[in-house]
Protein backbone atom coordinates (compact mmCIF):
# COMPACT_ATOMS: atom_id res chain seq x y z
CA UNK A 1 0.00 0.00 0.00
CA UNK A 2 2.69 2.43 1.12
CA UNK A 3 4.78 1.44 -1.88
CA UNK A 4 1.92 2.21 -4.29
CA UNK A 5 1.48 5.67 -2.74
CA UNK A 6 5.21 6.31 -3.06
CA UNK A 7 5.30 5.24 -6.72
CA UNK A 8 2.29 7.43 -7.42
CA UNK A 9 3.94 10.38 -5.69
CA UNK A 10 7.15 9.90 -7.65
CA UNK A 11 5.12 9.67 -10.85
CA UNK A 12 3.20 12.87 -10.04
CA UNK A 13 6.38 14.69 -9.04
CA UNK A 14 8.23 13.75 -12.21
CA UNK A 15 5.23 14.72 -14.31
CA UNK A 16 5.24 18.08 -12.56
CA UNK A 17 8.94 18.45 -13.29
CA UNK A 18 8.32 17.56 -16.90
CA UNK A 19 5.64 20.25 -17.15
CA UNK A 20 7.87 22.76 -15.42
CA UNK A 21 10.67 21.87 -17.78
CA UNK A 22 8.36 22.24 -20.78
CA UNK A 23 7.22 25.64 -19.57
CA UNK A 24 10.72 26.92 -18.94
CA UNK A 25 11.85 25.62 -22.30
CA UNK A 26 9.04 27.57 -23.94
CA UNK A 27 10.08 30.65 -22.00
CA UNK A 28 13.72 30.37 -22.99
CA UNK A 29 13.69 30.33 -26.78
CA UNK A 30 16.57 32.01 -28.57
CA UNK A 31 14.24 34.14 -30.58
CA UNK A 32 10.68 35.29 -30.12
CA UNK A 33 8.46 36.28 -32.96
CA UNK A 34 6.46 39.48 -32.58
CA UNK A 35 4.17 41.32 -34.96
CA UNK A 36 3.56 45.05 -35.19
CA UNK A 37 -0.02 45.00 -36.46
CA UNK A 38 -1.04 48.45 -37.67
CA UNK A 39 -4.34 50.03 -38.71
CA UNK A 40 -3.44 49.83 -42.40
CA UNK A 41 -0.38 49.53 -44.62
CA UNK A 42 1.01 52.44 -46.62
CA UNK A 43 0.95 54.88 -43.70
CA UNK A 44 4.24 56.73 -43.07
CA UNK A 45 3.41 57.08 -39.37
CA UNK A 46 3.36 53.30 -38.93
CA UNK A 47 6.42 52.84 -41.11
CA UNK A 48 8.22 55.03 -38.55
CA UNK A 49 6.76 52.98 -35.66
CA UNK A 50 8.15 49.84 -37.26
CA UNK A 51 11.56 51.48 -37.63
CA UNK A 52 11.52 51.87 -33.85
CA UNK A 53 10.52 48.24 -33.43
CA UNK A 54 13.45 47.10 -35.56
CA UNK A 55 15.79 49.28 -33.55
CA UNK A 56 14.56 47.71 -30.29
CA UNK A 57 14.73 44.19 -31.74
CA UNK A 58 18.36 44.75 -32.76
CA UNK A 59 19.21 45.95 -29.24
CA UNK A 60 17.38 43.13 -27.50
CA UNK A 61 18.82 40.41 -29.74
CA UNK A 62 16.07 37.85 -28.99
CA UNK A 63 13.23 39.38 -31.00
CA UNK A 64 12.23 38.94 -34.62
CA UNK A 65 9.77 41.68 -35.52
CA UNK A 66 7.43 41.71 -38.52
CA UNK A 67 5.26 44.52 -39.86
CA UNK A 68 1.68 43.70 -40.82
CA UNK A 69 -1.64 45.39 -41.45
CA UNK A 70 -4.73 45.21 -43.65
CA UNK A 71 -4.92 47.23 -46.86
CA UNK A 72 -7.83 49.21 -45.46
CA UNK A 73 -8.17 50.44 -41.88
CA UNK A 74 -10.90 48.02 -40.77
CA UNK A 75 -11.37 45.81 -37.71
CA UNK A 76 -12.35 42.90 -40.00
CA UNK A 77 -9.00 43.06 -41.78
CA UNK A 78 -7.15 43.01 -38.46
CA UNK A 79 -9.25 40.12 -37.10
CA UNK A 80 -8.38 38.01 -40.13
CA UNK A 81 -4.67 38.66 -39.62
CA UNK A 82 -4.84 37.85 -35.89
CA UNK A 83 -6.55 34.52 -36.66
CA UNK A 84 -3.62 33.52 -38.88
CA UNK A 85 -1.13 34.69 -36.23
CA UNK A 86 -2.81 32.46 -33.65
CA UNK A 87 -2.43 29.50 -36.03
CA UNK A 88 1.24 30.42 -36.56
CA UNK A 89 1.79 30.56 -32.77
CA UNK A 90 3.68 33.84 -32.74
CA UNK A 91 4.89 35.02 -29.32
CA UNK A 92 3.54 38.56 -29.19
CA UNK A 93 1.43 41.11 -31.07
CA UNK A 94 1.36 44.90 -30.65
CA UNK A 95 -1.81 46.27 -32.26
CA UNK A 96 -2.88 49.76 -33.26
CA UNK A 97 -6.58 48.96 -33.24
CA UNK A 98 -9.21 49.94 -35.77
CA UNK A 99 -11.88 49.37 -33.12
CA UNK A 100 -11.69 49.35 -29.31
CA UNK A 101 -14.16 46.48 -28.82
CA UNK A 102 -14.51 44.52 -32.06
CA UNK A 103 -11.05 42.95 -31.70
CA UNK A 104 -11.58 41.72 -28.14
CA UNK A 105 -12.91 38.19 -28.91
CA UNK A 106 -10.01 37.38 -31.23
CA UNK A 107 -7.32 38.96 -29.04
CA UNK A 108 -8.75 37.04 -26.04
CA UNK A 109 -8.39 33.88 -28.10
CA UNK A 110 -4.79 34.84 -28.91
CA UNK A 111 -3.99 35.45 -25.25
CA UNK A 112 -5.61 32.14 -24.27
CA UNK A 113 -3.25 30.49 -26.78
CA UNK A 114 -0.29 32.02 -24.90
CA UNK A 115 0.35 35.00 -27.18
CA UNK A 116 1.15 38.28 -25.39
CA UNK A 117 -1.10 41.01 -26.79
CA UNK A 118 -0.68 44.72 -26.22
CA UNK A 119 -2.22 47.69 -27.99
CA UNK A 120 -0.32 50.85 -28.86
CA UNK A 121 -1.28 54.17 -30.52
CA UNK A 122 -4.98 53.21 -30.89
CA UNK A 123 -6.17 51.08 -28.01
CA UNK A 124 -8.14 47.92 -27.40
CA UNK A 125 -10.35 48.15 -24.32
CA UNK A 126 -9.36 46.32 -21.11
CA UNK A 127 -9.90 42.58 -21.40
CA UNK A 128 -8.62 42.51 -24.98
CA UNK A 129 -4.95 43.28 -24.26
CA UNK A 130 -2.48 43.28 -21.39
CA UNK A 131 -1.45 46.94 -21.58
CA UNK A 132 -2.24 49.86 -23.89
CA UNK A 133 0.65 52.19 -24.76
CA UNK A 134 -0.53 55.74 -25.45
CA UNK A 135 1.61 58.52 -26.88
CA UNK A 136 0.14 61.03 -24.37
CA UNK A 137 -3.11 61.48 -22.50
CA UNK A 138 -6.12 61.80 -24.82
CA UNK A 139 -7.25 64.94 -23.00
CA UNK A 140 -3.97 66.72 -23.61
CA UNK A 141 -3.91 65.77 -27.30
CA UNK A 142 -7.55 66.69 -27.93
CA UNK A 143 -7.48 70.04 -26.14
CA UNK A 144 -4.24 70.97 -27.88
CA UNK A 145 -5.83 70.42 -31.31
CA UNK A 146 -8.43 73.13 -30.60
CA UNK A 147 -5.80 75.46 -29.15
CA UNK A 148 -3.69 75.13 -32.30
CA UNK A 149 -6.72 75.90 -34.50
CA UNK A 150 -7.71 78.87 -32.31
CA UNK A 151 -4.25 80.41 -32.60
CA UNK A 152 -4.40 80.08 -36.38
CA UNK A 153 -7.89 81.54 -36.78
CA UNK A 154 -7.71 84.28 -34.13
CA UNK A 155 -10.28 82.37 -32.05
CA UNK A 156 -13.06 82.86 -34.61
CA UNK A 157 -14.96 81.15 -37.38
CA UNK A 158 -16.19 77.76 -38.53
CA UNK A 159 -13.88 74.80 -38.00
CA UNK A 160 -14.32 71.20 -39.12
CA UNK A 161 -12.58 67.98 -38.16
CA UNK A 162 -11.37 65.49 -40.74
CA UNK A 163 -10.61 62.27 -38.88
CA UNK A 164 -9.37 58.76 -39.70
CA UNK A 165 -12.00 55.98 -39.59
CA UNK A 166 -15.23 56.44 -37.63
CA UNK A 167 -14.32 53.60 -35.24
CA UNK A 168 -10.68 54.55 -34.56
CA UNK A 169 -10.16 54.43 -30.78
CA UNK A 170 -7.51 57.13 -30.60
CA UNK A 171 -9.13 59.73 -32.88
CA UNK A 172 -12.53 59.27 -31.22
CA UNK A 173 -11.08 59.88 -27.77
CA UNK A 174 -9.26 62.99 -29.02
CA UNK A 175 -12.35 64.33 -30.80
CA UNK A 176 -14.38 63.97 -27.59
CA UNK A 177 -11.82 66.15 -25.83
CA UNK A 178 -11.86 68.66 -28.71
CA UNK A 179 -15.63 68.97 -28.22
CA UNK A 180 -15.04 69.58 -24.50
CA UNK A 181 -12.32 72.17 -25.06
CA UNK A 182 -14.29 74.22 -27.56
CA UNK A 183 -17.06 74.70 -24.95
CA UNK A 184 -14.78 77.13 -23.10
CA UNK A 185 -15.97 80.73 -23.39
CA UNK A 186 -12.70 81.83 -24.97
CA UNK A 187 -13.78 79.92 -28.08
CA UNK A 188 -17.30 81.41 -28.16
CA UNK A 189 -16.71 82.79 -31.65
CA UNK A 190 -15.52 79.44 -32.97
CA UNK A 191 -17.95 76.78 -34.17
CA UNK A 192 -17.23 73.11 -34.81
CA UNK A 193 -19.48 72.54 -37.83
CA UNK A 194 -18.84 68.89 -38.70
CA UNK A 195 -16.66 65.82 -38.20
CA UNK A 196 -15.94 63.82 -41.37
CA UNK A 197 -13.92 60.65 -41.93
CA UNK A 198 -11.21 60.00 -44.50
CA UNK A 199 -10.51 56.46 -43.18
CA UNK A 200 -6.74 57.11 -43.26
CA UNK A 201 -7.00 56.70 -47.05
CA UNK A 202 -5.34 59.60 -48.94
CA UNK A 203 -7.89 59.75 -51.78
CA UNK A 204 -10.95 59.61 -49.54
CA UNK A 205 -9.42 62.18 -47.17
CA UNK A 206 -8.70 64.52 -50.11
CA UNK A 207 -12.30 64.20 -51.34
CA UNK A 208 -13.74 64.82 -47.88
CA UNK A 209 -11.57 67.92 -47.40
CA UNK A 210 -12.67 69.29 -50.78
CA UNK A 211 -16.32 68.59 -49.91
CA UNK A 212 -15.95 70.45 -46.59
CA UNK A 213 -14.68 73.57 -48.37
CA UNK A 214 -17.65 73.45 -50.76
CA UNK A 215 -20.23 72.83 -48.05
CA UNK A 216 -18.96 75.54 -45.68
CA UNK A 217 -17.90 78.58 -47.70
CA UNK A 218 -16.88 80.40 -44.51
CA UNK A 219 -14.77 77.56 -43.22
CA UNK A 220 -11.70 78.93 -41.43
CA UNK A 221 -9.88 75.76 -40.39
CA UNK A 222 -9.76 72.00 -40.90
CA UNK A 223 -8.33 70.07 -37.97
CA UNK A 224 -6.97 66.63 -38.91
CA UNK A 225 -5.96 64.43 -35.96
CA UNK A 226 -4.46 61.92 -38.38
CA UNK A 227 -1.21 62.11 -40.31
CA UNK A 228 -2.82 60.68 -43.46
CA UNK A 229 -5.79 63.06 -43.28
CA UNK A 230 -3.59 66.07 -42.59
CA UNK A 231 -1.34 65.49 -45.59
CA UNK A 232 -4.31 64.96 -47.93
CA UNK A 233 -6.12 68.01 -46.54
CA UNK A 234 -3.09 70.27 -46.98
CA UNK A 235 -2.94 69.06 -50.59
CA UNK A 236 -6.67 69.69 -51.14
CA UNK A 237 -6.55 73.17 -49.58
CA UNK A 238 -3.51 74.15 -51.59
CA UNK A 239 -4.98 72.77 -54.83
CA UNK A 240 -8.16 74.78 -54.15
CA UNK A 241 -6.02 77.93 -53.84
CA UNK A 242 -7.18 78.34 -50.23
CA UNK A 243 -3.87 78.29 -48.35
CA UNK A 244 -4.15 80.93 -45.63
CA UNK A 245 -7.93 81.21 -46.13
CA UNK A 246 -8.74 77.76 -44.78
CA UNK A 247 -6.11 77.04 -42.14
CA UNK A 248 -4.96 73.45 -41.78
CA UNK A 249 -3.70 71.88 -38.55
CA UNK A 250 -3.71 68.56 -36.72
CA UNK A 251 -1.30 65.72 -36.12
CA UNK A 252 1.29 65.42 -38.86
CA UNK A 253 4.56 63.73 -39.70
CA UNK A 254 7.22 66.43 -40.12
CA UNK A 255 8.84 64.53 -43.01
CA UNK A 256 5.53 64.46 -44.91
CA UNK A 257 4.36 67.96 -44.01
CA UNK A 258 7.56 69.97 -44.32
CA UNK A 259 6.60 71.56 -47.64
CA UNK A 260 3.16 72.62 -46.36
CA UNK A 261 4.59 74.00 -43.13
CA UNK A 262 7.13 76.05 -45.04
CA UNK A 263 4.64 77.35 -47.64
CA UNK A 264 2.14 78.37 -44.94
CA UNK A 265 -0.68 75.94 -45.81
CA UNK A 266 -0.24 74.31 -42.39
CA UNK A 267 1.47 76.83 -40.14
CA UNK A 268 1.53 74.61 -37.06
CA UNK A 269 0.73 71.04 -36.09
CA UNK A 270 1.59 68.56 -33.37
CA UNK A 271 2.84 64.97 -33.03
CA UNK A 272 4.96 62.67 -30.89
CA UNK A 273 7.85 60.52 -32.04
CA UNK A 274 6.40 57.40 -33.74
CA UNK A 275 9.82 55.72 -33.71
CA UNK A 276 9.80 55.86 -29.89
CA UNK A 277 6.28 54.43 -29.84
CA UNK A 278 7.27 51.34 -31.86
CA UNK A 279 10.51 51.01 -29.92
CA UNK A 280 8.73 51.06 -26.56
CA UNK A 281 6.04 48.63 -27.74
CA UNK A 282 8.74 46.14 -28.67
CA UNK A 283 10.49 46.40 -25.28
CA UNK A 284 7.11 45.92 -23.58
CA UNK A 285 6.32 42.79 -25.58
CA UNK A 286 9.76 41.32 -24.89
CA UNK A 287 9.38 41.95 -21.16
CA UNK A 288 5.96 40.26 -21.15
CA UNK A 289 7.04 37.30 -23.27
CA UNK A 290 10.15 36.54 -21.19
CA UNK A 291 8.27 37.01 -17.93
CA UNK A 292 10.25 40.07 -16.79
CA UNK A 293 6.87 41.65 -16.06
CA UNK A 294 3.24 40.58 -15.87
CA UNK A 295 2.13 44.08 -16.91
CA UNK A 296 -0.12 44.49 -13.86
CA UNK A 297 -1.15 47.97 -12.72
CA UNK A 298 1.73 49.64 -10.86
CA UNK A 299 4.48 47.72 -12.69
CA UNK A 300 7.47 49.77 -13.74
CA UNK A 301 8.99 48.29 -16.89
CA UNK A 302 12.44 49.20 -18.26
CA UNK A 303 12.23 50.14 -21.95
CA UNK A 304 15.80 50.63 -23.21
CA UNK A 305 16.77 54.16 -24.21
CA UNK A 306 13.27 55.36 -23.26
CA UNK A 307 14.12 54.60 -19.62
CA UNK A 308 11.06 53.01 -18.01
CA UNK A 309 7.27 53.19 -18.17
CA UNK A 310 4.65 52.68 -15.49
CA UNK A 311 1.39 50.77 -15.91
CA UNK A 312 -1.48 52.98 -14.72
CA UNK A 313 -5.10 52.02 -13.99
CA UNK A 314 -6.89 50.05 -16.73
CA UNK A 315 -3.46 48.94 -17.96
CA UNK A 316 -2.74 52.29 -19.62
CA UNK A 317 0.82 53.47 -20.18
CA UNK A 318 1.46 57.10 -21.18
CA UNK A 319 4.54 58.38 -22.95
CA UNK A 320 5.31 62.13 -23.09
CA UNK A 321 3.76 65.38 -24.34
CA UNK A 322 3.45 66.01 -28.10
CA UNK A 323 5.80 68.35 -29.93
CA UNK A 324 4.45 71.36 -31.81
CA UNK A 325 6.01 71.94 -35.23
CA UNK A 326 6.20 75.19 -37.20
CA UNK A 327 8.51 76.73 -39.78
CA UNK A 328 11.21 77.32 -37.15
CA UNK A 329 11.76 73.70 -36.15
CA UNK A 330 10.29 71.61 -38.98
CA UNK A 331 13.55 70.96 -40.84
CA UNK A 332 15.18 69.51 -37.75
CA UNK A 333 12.35 67.01 -37.13
CA UNK A 334 11.64 66.24 -40.79
CA UNK A 335 15.05 64.61 -40.92
CA UNK A 336 14.06 62.16 -38.15
CA UNK A 337 10.42 61.14 -38.75
C1 LIG B 1 -2.49 58.24 -38.37
C2 LIG B 1 -3.11 57.09 -37.63
C3 LIG B 1 -2.53 56.92 -36.24
C4 LIG B 1 -2.47 58.24 -35.52
C5 LIG B 1 -1.72 59.25 -36.32
C6 LIG B 1 -1.66 60.60 -35.63
O7 LIG B 1 -1.26 57.89 -38.87
O8 LIG B 1 -4.49 57.28 -37.58
O9 LIG B 1 -3.30 56.01 -35.52
O10 LIG B 1 -1.88 58.11 -34.25
O11 LIG B 1 -2.38 59.40 -37.57
Give residue-wise pLDDT tens across range 234-247.
Answer: 999 999 999 999 99
Task: Check: CB of residue 310 under 8 Å from CB of residue 298.
Answer: yes
- Please list the residue range(s) of the chain that carry CATH number 3.40.50.2300: 31-135+274-320, 138-271
> What stretches of the chain adopt beta strand conformation (E)?
32-37, 63-68, 92-95, 116-120, 132-134, 157-163, 190-197, 219-224, 247-250, 269-271, 300-302, 308-310, 316-318, 323-325
Average pLDDT score, the chain? 94
pLDDT for the residue numbered 28: 76
Confidence category of residue 27, pLDDT binned at 50, 70, 90: low
* pTM of the predicted model as reported, rounded to 2 decimal places: 0.92
CATH number of 138-271: 3.40.50.2300
Task: Calculate how far, in angstroms, residue 285's C-alpha sits from the geometric centre of ligand 1.
Answer: 21
CATH of 31-135+274-320, one of 3.30.70.20, 3.30.420.40, 3.40.50.300, 3.40.50.2300: 3.40.50.2300
Per-residue pLDDT tens digits for 29-44: 899 999 999 999 999 9
CA-nearest of 136, 72, 128, 121 to 102 is 128
Q: Considering only CA atoms, which residue is closest to atom 8 of ligand 1?
A: 226
Task: Please tell me the distance between residue 271's alpha carbon and the centre of ligand 1 in angstroms.
Answer: 9
CA of 309 to the centre of ligand 1 (A): 21
- Asked if residue 12 has pLDDT above 50, the reply is no
Amino acid sequence: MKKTVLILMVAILSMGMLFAQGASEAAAKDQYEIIILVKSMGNGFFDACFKGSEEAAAELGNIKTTYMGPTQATAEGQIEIIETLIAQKVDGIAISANDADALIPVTKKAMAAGIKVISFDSGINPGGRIVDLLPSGAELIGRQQIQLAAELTGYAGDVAVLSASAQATNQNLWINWMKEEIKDSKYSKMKLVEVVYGDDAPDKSYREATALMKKYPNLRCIICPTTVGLLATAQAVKDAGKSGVVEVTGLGLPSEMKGYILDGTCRQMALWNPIDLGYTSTYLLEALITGKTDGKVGSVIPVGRMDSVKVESDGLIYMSTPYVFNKDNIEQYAAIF
